[in-house]
Amino acid sequence: MSKTVLVTGGTGLVGKAIETVIARENPTDEKWIFVGSKEANLTDLQSTRAMFERYCPTHVIHLAAMVGGLFHNMNNNLDFLRKNIQINDNVLALSHEFKVRKVVSCLSTCIFPDKTPYPIDETMIHNGPPHESNFGYSHAKRLIDIMNRAYHQQHGDMFTSVIPCNVFGPHDNFTPGVSHVIPGMIHRLHEIIYLKDPEKPQEEKVFPVYGTGKPLRQFIFSIDLAKLFIWVLRNYESVDPIILSVDEAAEVTIAHVAKSLANAFKFKGKLEFDTSKADGQYKKTASNDKLRKLLPEFQFTDFDSAIEDSVQWYIDNYEKARK
């Protein structure tokens, strides 16, 4: 049976990665439609309905969300809560109304409890309050899991969700004050090297890294995540969420990220850690045991190689990158 797959948030980081993978595959039994915020206002029910009427999807990958980095979240928790609840409720309600056969929504490891044993797994999402810095976004995302279970219980709908660790790659949002940690660093380092004091010798320049550099994170390359999203859409048949993350051993410090970026840019200056800036959550190590049991042979891209690809994409596409 042929599929019409609607990807909300399809012009963002993960959507573009899925589009890249699908273009390589060129499947003949699937029609893929990637929509961005210009296509519909997903906080508005009628605008969202018009989009569903236009495309009549059989499957939905729901990526659209109000997202941002640590400092953007800290200052706008109410907006993150309300807008994401509105978006998610509209997309799932209309997926049910239009008899969509499967919805795969995107959660995040940052929704897990702040105080929890590690590694975290899929059973622990609701075990306590999330970190105070992003409680609005976290609770809105947790509600997707609640709604998925409720739609399945009451109507039998196959609505499920995935929980990626931190994602990075081409087509990221590099906007200062809004971006996540890796694109934020890429933007700042590019400016330091190429735009600020261009006559100053690079050896005398300083790259400020926000925080102590000690927090630990798992990062997944967007192309790897795209491949896993597509696998979930085609093969994963459960309303229970599944963590899509690199292995625990692949966890790196923010200091490692900064050094990897400096190497990718061939930066000859000095790294300095600005300890006046907040570190955020120290760690949120996720277990991918469930994924590994279902897909044991999956090969993740080496972190430093993925960083090099991401930096090169930004340099090559600087003029059109979101910044």
Enzyme catalytic residues: 137
Q: Using CA atoms in the order 225, 227, 232, 233, what is the torsion angle rounded to 10 degrees?
A: 120
Q: What is the DSSP letter of 125?
A: T
- 3 phi-psi bin (left φ>0, alpha ψ -120 to 50, beta other): beta
Report the distance separating Cα 60 and Cα 101, nearest Å: 8
Backbone angles phi, psi at 102, to 5 degrees: -155, 135
Q: Quote the Cα angle for 278-304-107, to 5°.
A: 55
Report the distance separating Cα 171 and Cα 148, nearest Å: 29
Q: Residue 303: name the closest of 224, 232, 226 by CA.
A: 224
Report the distance separating Cα 213 and Cα 282, nearest Å: 10
Report the distance separating Cα 62 and Cα 44, nearest Å: 16
- Structure token pair of residue 67: 């997202």
Burial 91-118 (b: 16+ CB within 10 A, else e): bbbbbbebebebbbbbbbbbbbbbeeee
Which position has the token pair 């760690």? Answer: 283
SS3 at position 206? strand
Q: Quote the Cα angle for 14-17-19, to 5°.
A: 110
Backbone angles phi, psi at 216, to 5 degrees: -105, 140
- Structure token pair of residue 179: 């971006």
Q: What is the DSSP letter of 117?
A: -
Contact 209, 185 (CB under 8 A): yes
